[in-house]
Structure 1
Amino acid sequence: MSPDHPPGLDLDRLRALLERERPGLVHGPLTGRLIEGGRSNLTYAVSDGTSRWVVRRPPLGHVLATAHDMRREHRVISALHPTSVPVPRPVLLCEDEQVLGAPFYVMEFVEGTPYRTADELVPLGERRTRDAILSLVDTLVELHAVDPAGVGLADFGRPEGFLDRQLRRWGKQLDASRSRDLAGVDELHAALGRELPQSPAPAVVHGDYRLDNVLIGPDDSIRAVLDWEMSTLGDPLTDLGLLVMYSVPLRLPDSPISTTAAAPGHPSPAELIERYAARSGRDVSAVSWYTAFAWFKLAVILEGIHYRYTLGQTVGRGFDRIGELVPVFIEHGLTTLQEG
């Protein structure tokens, strides 16, 4: 297909749907391009030459049952859009698979920059890098301060027994993508189960909260939080654990998955934890468990991507080296749990 007609995006059918459901929104033929960088759902930028939107849909092949739920992602951004949490304005949810071959949704295009590597942060300088990362913490505090019932998300999840269900869920997702032996992964899963902490009051949880899932504006503020497909109602410290995990340098040269932690000015994990604790008022004494759980969860996600790659069901670059990262994440998880 041409760059203006990427795989998984039928622009003629999309335009027909938008003209039917949102009359007057589109003012000409649509063009589209795949936005590189995602490792899960597919994201496209679409334009009619005047306005721009974003389309989100699941991968083209192997789809784990709950990992690519478009309805949930659309619902949570619709609920959060009126709050202080920056999210794109939702446009439309389509669950008719006849249109694009899978459920998808459309949202507004938000101007901003996603920073995915330490090298991309370097031109900002130390002060601006620090401000951007601290804004990431502050926005997470804002998210966790939202009253779920007040925005219509009281039934968005089942907070009771959340961590136990999460461990079982990610264990099942690992089994669904298990195509090779992975030393230590079952040991890590079992150790997490033995040391399960007591969850604080429930909150809306993003589930994949990190710097490259937000758009940063020119004033270093967060313009939009993206990629809500793993969101639910549950233990907010799971988001903090993931953010801390991504603040640890991986030190893997030429890795297709990296953190921004090595960028000059990047706050330390301890500083991020302290800022979150001070601004949220939550007890973060068990943060090592949540960080170890984040390592485990990412190992499972990467193994799922590796599995889809072996089946030829991925779109984009860098997938051929994902598999070699999984043991690294497992080892970090075991070490973090032992040190905690």
Structure 2
Amino acid sequence: MSTDPQGLDTRAVADWLAGVSPDAVSGTFEASLITGGKSNLTYLVTDGDHEYVVRRPPLGHVLATAHDMSREYRVMAALATTPVPVPAMVALCDDVEVIGAPFYVMERVAGTPYSRASQLEPLGPERTRLISERLVDTLVELHAVDYRAVGLGEFGRPDGYIGRQVSRWKKQLAASTSRELPGMDQLVAHLDAGVPDSGEGTIVHGDYRLDNALVQDDRITAVLDWEMSTLGDPLSDVALMLAYQGLAELNPGSGALVTDAANAPGYLDRDAVIERYSAGSGRDVSDMGYHLSLAYFKLAVILEGIHYRHAHGQTVGTGFDGIGDAIAPLIEAGIAASR
């Protein structure tokens, strides 16, 4: 009987990898699932001499554009020559016949993805502050990369990025709600009316937060989960990181709401994050209020979609009961940020 984790045929991966990179495999692969759910599936694979991480799309029917393995692989491969810490890419397989879906293999990087304040608290306030400072500094480094010089000139369309984001998330909201959301019309009207001019485009991660990075010895050893990356407005990355931070503050102690790492003593507060990013990047952050409004809107739409699916019996597991109650505070925070 196979002991492979669901979604991964280790023999097939080993045979394919040996064919494209013979020195990469020296024995039988064993694998374990690192992260699952409805995001991309991540596995730790080892033959005793090598340790790799394999990423593939979720099981079942998914939109290729939402779980584009080649996109993740491409951006991390491009960043390998920059100061941005990313795992070394080993190989990309776009032949769905190998395991039933595209996948890529990368080297394993040591580190911890801190998602909870309870994980950071034993480190103490000084180390926690240092980690949060380095998270901001790494974002500064990412936004300083010359995307054309690293071969990502066609990776996205920076012009009009924010306007397209507003339109996209409005459509998502329309498709995932069936109830009145007080304040939502006001927030949307603000976003429609105040779209800032397109600034200098950069590589944007699209989901930047502490638990999408690995930390070891108080250093950021790797930034992971690049499935939302593109070329766009860099302030959108800063704002979404701050919106996750605000989500933690609005819902203290709620294990269902992504991450509460920012609630740990010593973690940089919102003003300190903005000040450090502005000082490090030299960018004008005067439009941050708009970007924060948009980021809170995105999170509200995401959580409303989860609430909608839960209300229709389409979620699996526990921890969804309080999701719907978290949306009104996000809308209020988005309106407050607009002021």
TM-score norm. by structure 1 comes to: 0.89
Compute the RMSD of aligned alpha carbons.
2.5
Cα drift, residue 330 of structure 1: 5.2
CA displacement 1:295-339 (0-9 Å, x = unmatched): 22233344555677767687xxxx533474255245314433334
Aligned partner letter, 1:67: A
- CA–CA distance in structure 2, aligned partners of residues 185 and 320 of structure 1: 28
Contact 1:54–1:106 (Cα < 8 Å) also in 2:
yes
Cα drift, residue 31 of structure 1: 1.2
2:275 — aligned with what? 274
| Consecutive unaligned residues in structure 1, runs of 5 or more | none
Contact 1:238–1:290 (Cα < 8 Å) also in 2:
yes
- CA–CA distance in structure 1, aligned partners of residues 60 and 80 of structure 2: 31
Cα pair distance change 1:250/1:112, threshold 3 Å:
same
- CA–CA distance in structure 1, aligned partners of residues 65 and 42 of structure 2: 18
Cα pair distance change 1:22/1:102, threshold 3 Å:
same
Contact 2:252–2:260 (Cα < 8 Å) also in 1:
no
Aligned partner letter, 1:71: S
Structure 1 window deviating more from structure 2 (126-135 vs 62-71): it is 62-71
Cα pair distance change 1:155/1:97, threshold 3 Å:
same
Contact 2:145–2:203 (Cα < 8 Å) also in 1:
yes
Cα pair distance change 1:180/1:320, threshold 3 Å:
farther
2:285 — aligned with what? 284
Cα drift, residue 137 of structure 1: 0.4
2:245 — aligned with what? 247
CA displacement 1:217-276 (0-9 Å, x = unmatched): 11x110000000000001000000011112221334342223212101111110000000
1:71 — aligned with what? 70
1:92 — aligned with what? 91
Cα drift, residue 210 of structure 1: 0.3
- CA–CA distance in structure 1, aligned partners of residues 222 and 76 of structure 2: 10
Cα pair distance change 1:260/1:311, threshold 3 Å:
same
Contact 1:296–1:330 (Cα < 8 Å) also in 2:
no
Aligned partner letter, 1:239: D
Q: Please say if 1:335 is aligned against 2:306.
A: no
Q: Please say if 1:217 is aligned against 2:216.
A: yes
SS at match of 1:295: helix
CA displacement 1:114-139 (0-9 Å, x = unmatched): 10000000111110000000000000
CA displacement 1:49-86 (0-9 Å, x = unmatched): 22111111121135345321111111100100111100
- CA–CA distance in structure 2, aligned partners of residues 72 and 104 of structure 1: 11
2:106 — aligned with what? 107
Q: Please say if 1:141 is aligned against 2:140.
A: yes
Which of 229, 232, 235 is the matching residue for 1:234?
Answer: 232
Cα drift, residue 39 of structure 1: 5.8
Cα pair distance change 1:15/1:307, threshold 3 Å:
farther
- CA–CA distance in structure 1, aligned partners of residues 182 and 296 of structure 2: 12
Identity %: 50
Cα pair distance change 1:227/1:165, threshold 3 Å:
same
- CA–CA distance in structure 1, aligned partners of residues 225 and 322 of structure 2: 24
1:296 — aligned with what? 297
SS at match of 1:151: coil
1:256 — aligned with what? 256
Cα drift, residue 175 of structure 1: 4.7
Q: Please say if 1:81 is aligned against 2:80.
A: yes
Cα pair distance change 1:8/1:285, threshold 3 Å:
same
Cα pair distance change 1:122/1:283, threshold 3 Å:
same
Cα pair distance change 1:115/1:163, threshold 3 Å:
same
Cα pair distance change 1:236/1:21, threshold 3 Å:
same
Cα pair distance change 1:180/1:75, threshold 3 Å:
same
- Number of aligned positions between the proteins: 333
SS at match of 2:261: coil
Contact 1:296–1:329 (Cα < 8 Å) also in 2:
no
| Consecutive unaligned residues in structure 2, runs of 5 or more | none
1:158-169 → structure 2 map (5 Å cutoff) = 158-169=157-168
Q: Please say if 1:117 is aligned against 2:89.
A: no
- CA–CA distance in structure 2, aligned partners of residues 216 and 55 of structure 1: 20
Aligned partner letter, 1:149: R
